[in-house]
Structure 1
Amino acid sequence: MNNLQRLQLETKGIKLEQEELVVYLQENYLEPFDEYYAISPINKRNIYSAALNILESIANDVSRMKTVKIDDTTVSDFSESIQNRIDQLERKIRTLKVEEQSSGTNFFMLFVD
């Protein structure tokens, strides 16, 4: 499976052109046709970040924010539902354990003698 296919799995049901998906992947430091490595936390985080960018773009579409009434049922929770999914993805990205290559640790000295 390549990165493009993995992003399509993460954003199932969202119809975007392949060129658009490629841009989202490249903005998150992924090449679309490179092999996806599920064991790599950095690769996984970048896929989730690309999916998050897609959801944020959809959330900016004003035409989706309107209230729709279908057979006595009101569908007005789109913006709330997408915001909940965005929050879930942000939380998932923050909790992924990824070793930082710059320092190797998240510990720092606040006070020095």
Structure 2
Amino acid sequence: MNNLQRLQLEIQGIELTHEEIQLYLTENGLKHYEEYNPESNKSKRSIYQTALAILESVANNPTLMKDYKQDDMTISAFYENLMSRIDQLERKVRQMSSTDDKTDSNFFMLFQ
């Protein structure tokens, strides 16, 4: 599975062009054709950050909010669910390690 395929798992149902998805991946330090490494905290974090950026873009586009209708879900319910998912991803990204070190510590030096 490459980075593009892994990202598409996170953003299922969101229609973007291939070029737009490549841009989001590039902005977060990923190449779409490279193999996704599920054991790498850095790769996971970058995928989640990319998905977060895409969801924030969707939330900032009022025309998508107007045109979005699915079954019996209203636009306000879509917005609430979208914001809930954005909050979940932000929390997940903040809690993830930004390196691939095998240390379990989240300690950092505040003063040097």
Q: TM-score, normalised by structure 2?
A: 0.81
In the alignment, structure 1 residue 92 sits paired with structure 2 residue 92? yes
Distance 2:69 2:55 in 1: 24
Q: From the superposition, tell whether residues 9 and 70 of structure 1 become closer, same or farther in structure 2 (CA, over 3 Å).
A: closer
Q: Is this contact kept in 2: 1:64–1:78, CA < 8 A? A: no
Pick the structure with greater CA Rg: 1
Q: Note the residue ranges of structure 2 that are not aligned, 5 or more in a row.
A: none
Higher relative contact order (CA 8 A, sep 6+): 2
Number of equivalences: 108
Give the unaligned 5+ runs of structure 1. none
Percent identity, aligned pairs only, is: 49
Higher helix share goes to which structure? 2
Structure ranking higher in strand proportion: 1
> What amino acid is the match of 1:107?
F
Q: Which amino acid aligns with 1:108?
A: M
Distance in 1 of aligned mates of 2:51 and 2:79: 17
- Give 2:13's aligned amino acid: G
Kept after mapping to 2: 8 A contact 1:52/1:86: yes
2:41–2:100 contact (8 Å) kept in structure 1: no
String of CA shifts for 1:17-52, please: whole Å, max 9, x gaps.
Answer: 111100000000001101100000000000000000
Contact 2:42/2:100, CA 8 A, preserved across alignment: no
Q: Is the 8 A contact 1:28 1:50 kept in 2?
A: yes
Return the alpha-carbon distance in structure 1 between the equivalents of residues 11 and 80 of structure 2. Answer: 18
Distance in 2 (CA, whole Å) between partners of 1:40 and 1:4 is 16
Q: Per the alignment, do residues 17 and 74 of structure 1 end up closer, same or farther by CA in structure 2, a change over 3 Å counting?
A: closer
